[in-house]
Structure 1
Amino acid sequence: MPALAERITANLAEVRDLIVATCRRQGRDPQGVRLIAVTKEQTPEVLAPVVAAGVFDLGENRVDHLETMHASAPTGARFHFIGRVQGRQLAKLAPFCVAIHSLCDADHVARLGRACVESDRRIEVFLQVNVADDPAKAGVRLADLEARVELVRRTAGLEMVGLMTMAPLAPEGGQADDATIRRCFATLRGLAEQHRLPRLSMGMSEDFVHALAEGATDLRIGSRLFR
């Protein structure tokens, strides 16, 4: 455990240094950035050192793994659901999560709202946006975004806080080039401004510096912390 804790602490320090440096270049306050440690492929042993290092926000993408990690989490840990949502699982998220970053469907908005009301909870919502407006990809299509934002705002138990996207892949696979990634993140920032939303969930281990440069407020970082 000491070796694991030392490795996580060192990796977190490296990521935090990059966050601070990037924010300073942008004239931003790094305190406005929320670092979410994505623990989706980890065992419960990582939770104590992550929280001890001052990262209380944890990201999960499967309900069963979320339940396992929640049962072992230190006091103060806050769980974010960042994975693809299945309607039948929404009721299970309400008791465990402070935020969901991947909500898309109108039906899922209604179901999650009901589950939150029944659990006496209020959950932050980031709508996942299909920035490319590609019918083959997940996320809210651009033509539907305004209506979906307003639906979340009207739904009891939910707090509409921001938008989420993931960096695009190159046609041949792997990450797209830096300019394409920056355009994707800049588009999401423009959409958030248009809809008066304060938070942007974008940026992962390989591209979070680009995301920060385009205004990201919530970074979802996994492999870089646990390598």
Structure 2
Amino acid sequence: MEINTFGWDLLVRSLKCNPLTKEKILVAFIHWSLIRKKLKSIGIGEEKALSPEDICSELLPDGWDKNEKFSLRYLFETSVYILHGFKCGETIIFNLLDTTDLTTSNTAIDINDTVIRLTGTLQQMIPTYIKLTAKLESTLLQTIIRRTVKNSEAQTDTPVDKSDIRRIAIPSSSSQPSVGNTRTEERRQYPDFGESDLNPFGVGKSFRSGLRGYRWIAEGFSTSRGEVRSVRSSCW
């Protein structure tokens, strides 16, 4: 497991602590871990609401080390977090409060077993910083991790705006005219077209049935003899 230590050296140089102690190096490491999780420092105190006067920073605020117990305020997205810390023997107990839903997470770290030197690189000052980072991920930083996962799930479950989806209207089979309906419509528009070819003598129709412009005139039709004596065609 590799950890990018960018920002650590700058943070240590910015510490205005006199004298610089192991306790303060440890607090600086916890602060640096929160900054790596995208939190921003907004001062000290117990105020749970964000104020217009709050200024975001990646450095520890002035005066944070005046008391044995301290409260550092942080901003993550739109939520305010408060990091509480106090020394108990050779151990510092840290508690991180999410002021949005009042969930907390905590951890306890032995000072002398963790911080070995007050100067040098991070590896020299805290040789077990990789192991310590893993411990913070599973304890103190769980409040941040839960918030990140919750926000990620909320974005995934966001419903799609159906107004943005273009639909192509496909006519149903019932709306498409059948062949029989088409023929009926054509016959309705052209009632006599082709009638004379199929029924030249106009049986069951008027003598004007048939192609327009022609007519058949049957003379001397004898039903008793079943024949036509003379048939004459004339044009209109």
Question: Shorter-normalised TM-score: what interval?
Answer: under 0.3
Higher relative contact order (CA 8 A, sep 6+): 1
Q: TM-score, normalised by structure 2?
A: 0.22
Could you say which structure has the higher helix fraction?
A: 1
Q: TM-score, normalised by structure 1?
A: 0.22
